[in-house]
Structure 1
């Protein structure tokens, strides 16, 4: 029997699914895929590729690769996945440099990175040129304040350029989603 204390809670963040009818991944099927990998307590949130599950403690990168392979086998297409554990999600929320409680969820975003980006990736950006939009880099996360929302953000556009994200797996969630995933991953 597996020792329950050897299990932890993770969030899987899938990138680019269910957008414009492309890469359709029904959440019920995603739950089935995760359960088929032996994960327990599987829940999904929204249709944009957020899942929470418990598993034996493992490297989040290895769990992400395992999930990517299983999704490709089940659905027939590749989906980039990031897996973060509950403590990291809570740390991301607690370290937010912006007043999250005072902002609308659409104004604040967290871009999760597969590994810590080098500071020089951001050196060419003239942050003052994008004000009042702002960003800060944390532990494997970038916080973005976009007062008019992500869809209108010139800074988000600049941060998505290959010079910034090349070689990294990245995915962005609005702050409402981050807060809900923190809640769902509490042990």
Structure 2
């Protein structure tokens, strides 16, 4: 059995696309997944499956959500190893460790596919005040200096600019998902 983390984008945000975690867990189990655990209300699910293709698993979950709850929801599925790699490759880790960056202002915008190369270069050559980010093929590591609630560099911003679907999680959530998926 392989362990996976499903990240659902845009559920239970500002009263939109409301899904109870108990119902989401049941849906995952009905899809044949086992050891299903949810974390907070924003669509984080850790589960096990014998399936190996993360794109196929994501499509299955997306279709299940549409059929059961009636919502079109982008779904990104990662292995524990992939999320761990993304976490460990965070270029801001040293600055967080020495207190230069507040942990609560560290975000990961996980990309569903490689970002548009031209737009990536354009973003990297523009400054956004104290806000800092580093774009890779899989994730935008983002230090929201003014706070995520105040920044214009949110998930929608990066999706539009990089021309790919994305979902954002804070550092605390990434660490918790690594803990839950390491069991």
TM-score (norm 1): 0.87
Greater Cα offset, 41-50 or 133-142:
133-142
Match of 1:124 in 2: 122
1:170 paired with 2:166, answer: yes
- Which of residues 32, 50, 56 in structure 2 aligns to 1:62? 56
**Aligned equivalents of 1:123 and 1:163: distance in 2?**
11
**Aligned equivalents of 1:155 and 1:17: distance in 2?**
20
1:78 paired with 2:72, answer: yes
1:27 paired with 2:21, answer: yes
| 8 Å CA contact retained: 2:130, 2:146 | no
- Which of residues 76, 90, 94 in structure 2 aligns to 1:96? 90
Change (3 A) 1:178 1:39: same
**Aligned equivalents of 1:177 and 1:150: distance in 2?**
14
Match of 2:143 in 1: 145
| 8 Å CA contact retained: 1:10, 1:84 | yes
Give secondary structure in 2 for the equivalent of 1:64.
helix
| 8 Å CA contact retained: 2:5, 2:47 | yes
Shift of 1:83: 0.6
Change (3 A) 1:54 1:158: closer
- Aligned residue pair count: 179
TM-score (norm 2): 0.89
Match of 2:104 in 1: 106
Match of 2:180 in 1: 184
Shift of 1:128: 5.2
**Aligned equivalents of 1:134 and 1:67: distance in 2?**
33
Match of 2:41 in 1: 47
1:15 paired with 2:9, answer: yes
**Aligned equivalents of 1:111 and 1:85: distance in 2?**
16
